[in-house]
């Protein structure tokens, strides 16, 4: 059950109300400049205006948002007529200023409170993430194609832990055309903001207002849609962006949070367990790994991010009593355990999306979306994630949580580079197909897969969570290519947790190994490419703009042996394709003197995670070459249901697997984006998907 103690959700005034905008705002009546053209329309809507105005001079932050969109087709009616605004009731209130429907030049004012519903949705309930946010839901009546909907509302309040320290980032180009995008910020006359911009974003315009306040403004007009690109590095900004924040140092950022992670006494039962570990294990590195696994095994993931809960961990005793927590809770517990036995361990803030570029960012409180632990031992830093599933390997082997730069929560803190990800073998497959003596006789397949590094951790978790489901997935995978597949023996598992080496052995009967050649009586057999097709995933595109995320550095290999009923001629090949930091190898050879066994060996090696856009064409060339050498096809003549005595040399095959069995090899990208999406909701505190242009 979720722990919602000490998380009050009542406020002194209604959460949502209707009131005029303050005198500081600029809300001129909207006048349609022209009829929208085809390139202005996206999913049945044309976005004429995206206006953001923020007042930082009052007792509470006021963030006004105004959007004006025209319904150009039936597909746009739903989003234009439905308003959903998420807010945190512990510190935030929503004030509607106007909801207007303009039709044929006439404006109809809609009372948003009359049709208001406020409810708690908990969008990530199934993922054990509770943020306590409420949704103000309004359906605008009688919206038709051709109508213009003009919505203005303000969010009042900010996370208390932020105090008067401001930071925000805005888009000035989107996934669709937008007529005008404006951001306007008011500060005290003597206040400064640190401003950063990307991708030719608008310049900063400032002026002193008659009332003594200072205005900061950015504006973009007639911005074309910006298309995304597959496998883009998560830290790359693809649209025009501007960031403005209060002047801070990294020490200021760390000081805002580190007091929340102060060491606390351990609960009695946990103290007893740690004391026993101290007596049993003398080596500090082994102690560290044992404590990491203890934390990873004991805590169930549960995030309660109500109010400042998104930034402040629970007390250690509460974390242990619940046996549940999020990254902040787990990191506080692990750091406390390690400090208890004299290890130099502290929580550290990271950004799983933009951590690689943090050194180039202006310091601000909302830059981080994850918390881990830095262990310093024998002059080395180890970056440990206690929210991972129980990891294998010693301290020098286990997979570390590296995201570019980290901010340890210590006095006089500064960013620390987390080091480069080492290249480790994530899997090596050795498979043998033994084909029957006739074209209709079943074949057998034996597969031995050795997993290492983060891949071993992931497969180990799958085995412990749903072993039957994993086996079922393997069988379904082969059934797509070889007809009915029967398991000849149960899955064999050999697991060396301390070395983090996991080996699986599978053995199947394949009901239909051979396929008839479309233009003759010959039959064909070809193994499926489960290597190159699953690692070289980014397809060729013209004029690549964004860096490519290649996945974590890794080495993977696949050896296929085919035992044939008759001899074949083997010409063979040994092909190597390489560019800086990336290599693919394909080698085909005869494996026995008689020519009844052929072998295909493939390997892929990635020594870097990100590829600059100006190297994309070289990568695409390498990928094309690798995929052309990914497999082979054995063709044998058949006469009266019997194989002919010999067969020609097997050519390279283009037979490739769809992304199925090993598509999650780049799972690190998924978790980075998942964390980014979650913390964006916690930090930004708003959901404008139905009313704002898509960025």
For a pLDDT cut of 70, what percent of the chain falls above it?
88
Q: Is the pLDDT of residue 11 over 70?
A: no
More confident residue, 530 or 233: 233
Q: Is the pLDDT of residue 453 over 90?
A: yes
pLDDT tens-digit series, residues 329-340: 999 999 999 999
Q: What is the pLDDT of residue 304?
A: 62
pLDDT tens-digit series, residues 591-622: 999 889 999 999 999 999 999 999 999 999 99
Q: What is the pLDDT of residue 2?
A: 40
Q: Is the pLDDT of residue 167 over 70?
A: yes
Coil, strand or helix: which one is 401?
A: coil
pLDDT band per the 50, 70, 90 thresholds, residue 681: very low
Once rounded to an integer, what is the mean pLDDT over residues 454-464? Answer: 96
For residue 426, give both structure tokens.
């994530």
Q: Is the pLDDT of residue 54 over 90?
A: yes
Tell me the CA distances in angstroms from 415 to 58, 313, 606, one per residue in order.
Answer: 33, 21, 27
pLDDT tens-digit series, residues 396-416: 999 999 999 999 999 999 999
Burial class (CB in 10 A: 0-12, 13-18, 19+), 546: middle
Coil, strand or helix: which one is 559?
A: strand
Contact 313, 325 (CB under 8 A): yes
Smallest Cα–Cα separation from 509: which of 486, 491, 477?
486
pLDDT tens-digit series, residues 18-50: 999 999 999 999 999 999 999 999 999 999 999
**DSSP one-letter code for 4:** -
**DSSP one-letter code for 308:** G
- What is the CB-side half-sphere exposure of residue 485 using CA atoms within 13 A? 20
Burial class (CB in 10 A: 0-12, 13-18, 19+), 406: buried
Contact 91, 309 (CB under 8 A): no
For residue 332, give both structure tokens.
């506080």
In the predicted model, what is the mean pLDDT of the chain?
A: 89
Contact 295, 120 (CB under 8 A): no
Residues whose CB falls within 8 Å of the CB of residue 208, separated by 6 or more in sequence, listed in order: 189, 214, 215
**Alpha carbon distance 340, 372 (integer Å):** 17
Residues whose CB falls within 8 Å of the CB of residue 135, separated by 6 or more in sequence, listed in order: 84, 85, 86, 118, 119, 120, 121, 687
Q: What is the pLDDT of residue 556?
A: 98
Q: Is the pLDDT of residue 692 over 80?
A: no
Coil, strand or helix: which one is 186?
A: strand
**Alpha carbon distance 693, 243 (integer Å):** 18
Q: Walk me through the domains of the chain, giving residue ranges and CATH numbers.
A: 38-164+175-190+206-232 (2.60.40.3140), 254-417 (3.10.620.30), 514-557+567-657 (2.60.120.1130)
Q: Is the pLDDT of residue 125 over 70?
A: no
Pairing of strands 241-245, 106-109: unpaired
Contact 632, 653 (CB under 8 A): yes
DSSP track, 222-251: EEPP----TTB-TT---S-EEEEE----HH
Backbone angles phi, psi at 5, to 5 degrees: -65, 145
Handedness of CA 154, 155, 157, 159 (dihedral sign): negative
Once rounded to an integer, what is the mean pLDDT over residues 183-208? Answer: 97
Smallest Cα–Cα separation from 161: which of 359, 3, 307, 337?
307
Contact 223, 195 (CB under 8 A): no
Q: What is the pLDDT of residue 383?
A: 99
Once rounded to an integer, what is the mean pLDDT over residues 531-558? Answer: 96
Q: Which residues face 138 on adjacent strands?
A: 83, 116
Residue ranges with strand state E in 285-379: 300-301, 303-304, 324-325, 344-350, 370-377
Helix (H) or strand (E) run with residue 275 in it = helix 268-280
Q: Is the pLDDT of residue 471 over 50?
A: yes
Pairing of strands 554-563, 642-643: unpaired
**Alpha carbon distance 565, 131 (integer Å):** 63
pLDDT band per the 50, 70, 90 thresholds, residue 653: low
Q: Is the pLDDT of residue 668 over 50?
A: no
Q: What is the pLDDT of residue 130?
A: 63
**Alpha carbon distance 234, 530 (integer Å):** 26
Q: What is the pLDDT of residue 530?
A: 84
Q: What is the pLDDT of residue 661?
A: 36
Contact 582, 535 (CB under 8 A): no
pLDDT band per the 50, 70, 90 thresholds, residue 119: confident
């Amino acid at each position: 059950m979720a722990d919602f103690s000490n998380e009050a959700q009542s406020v002194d005034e209604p959460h949502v109300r209707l009131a005029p905008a303050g005198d500081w705002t600029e809300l001129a009546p909207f006048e349609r400049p022209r009829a929208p053209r085809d390139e202005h329309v996206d999913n049945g809507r044309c976005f004429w205006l995206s206006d953001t105005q923020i007042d930082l001079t009052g007792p509470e932050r006021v963030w006004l948002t105004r959007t004006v969109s025209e319904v150009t087709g039936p597909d746009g009616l739903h989003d234009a007529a439905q308003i959903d605004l998420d807010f945190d009731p512990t510190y935030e209130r929503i004030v509607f200023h106007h909801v207007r429907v303009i039709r044929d030049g006439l404006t109809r004012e809609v009372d948003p409170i009359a049709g208001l519903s406020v409810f708690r949705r908990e969008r990530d309930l199934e993922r054990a993430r509770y943020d306590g946010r409420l949704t103000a839901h309004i359906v605008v009546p009688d919206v038709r194609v051709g109508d213009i909907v003009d919505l203005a509302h303000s969010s009042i309040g900010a996370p208390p832990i932020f105090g008067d320290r401001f930071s925000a980032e805005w888009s000035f180009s989107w996934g669709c055309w937008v007529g005008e995008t404006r951001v306007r910020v008011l500060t005290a006359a003597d206040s400064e903001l640190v401003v950063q911009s990307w991708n030719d974003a608008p310049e900063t315009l400032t002026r002193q207002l008659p009332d003594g306040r200072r205005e900061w403004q950015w504006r973009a007009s007639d911005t074309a849609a910006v298309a995304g690109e597959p496998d883009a590095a998560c830290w790359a900004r693809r649209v025009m962006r501007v960031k403005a924040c209060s002047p801070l140092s990294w020490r200021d950022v760390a000081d805002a949070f580190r007091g929340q992670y102060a060491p606390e006494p351990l609960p009695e039962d946990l103290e007893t367990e740690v004391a026993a570990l101290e007596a049993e294990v003398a080596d500090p590195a082994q102690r560290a790994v044992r404590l990491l696994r203890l934390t990873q095994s004991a805590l169930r993931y549960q995030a309660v991010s109500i109010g400042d809960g998104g930034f402040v961990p629970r007390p250690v005793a509460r974390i242990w009593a619940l046996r549940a927590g999020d990254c902040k809770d787990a990191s506080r517990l692990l750091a406390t355990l390690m400090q208890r036995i004299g290890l130099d361990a502290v929580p550290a803030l990271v950004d799983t999306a933009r951590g690689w570029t943090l050194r180039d960012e202006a310091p601000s409180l909302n830059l981080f979306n994850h918390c881990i632990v830095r262990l310093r031992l024998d002059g080395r830093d180890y970056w440990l994630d206690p929210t991972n599933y129980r990891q294998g390997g010693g301290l020098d082997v286990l997979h570390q949580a590296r995201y570019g730069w980290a901010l340890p929560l210590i006095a006089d803190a500064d960013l620390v580079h987390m080091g480069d990800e080492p290249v480790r073998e994530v899997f090596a497959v050795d498979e043998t197909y033994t084909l029957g003596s006739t074209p209709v006789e079943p074949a057998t397949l034996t597969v031995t897969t050795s997993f290492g590094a983060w891949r071993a951790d992931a497969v180990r978790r799958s085995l412990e969570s749903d072993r039957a489901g994993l086996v079922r997935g393997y069988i379904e995978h082969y059934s797509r290519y070889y007809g009915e597949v029967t398991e000849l023996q149960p899955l064999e598992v050999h697991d060396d947790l301390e070395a983090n080496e996991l080996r699986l052995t599978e053995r199947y009967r394949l009901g239909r190994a051979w396929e008839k050649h479309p233009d003759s009586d010959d039959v064909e057999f070809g193994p499926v490419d489960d290597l190159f097709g699953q690692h070289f995933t980014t397809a060729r595109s013209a004029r690549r703009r964004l860096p490519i995320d290649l996945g974590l550095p890794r080495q993977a290999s696949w050896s296929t042996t085919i035992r044939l009923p008759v001899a074949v001629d083997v010409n063979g090949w040994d092909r190597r394709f390489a560019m800086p930091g990336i290599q693919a190898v394909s080698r085909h050879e005869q494996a026995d003197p008689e020519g009844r066994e052929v072998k295909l060996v493939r390997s892929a090696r990635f020594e870097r995670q990100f590829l600059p856009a100006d190297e994309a064409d070289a990568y695409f060339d390498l990928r094309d070459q690798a995929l052309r050498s990914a497999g082979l096809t054995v063709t044998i003549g058949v006469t009266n249901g019997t194989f002919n005595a010999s067969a020609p040399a097997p050519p390279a095959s283009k037979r490739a697997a769809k992304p199925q069995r090993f598509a999650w090899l780049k799972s690190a990208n998924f978790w980075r984006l998942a964390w980014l999406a979650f913390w964006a909701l916690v930090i930004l505190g708003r959901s404008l998907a139905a009313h704002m242009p898509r960025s």
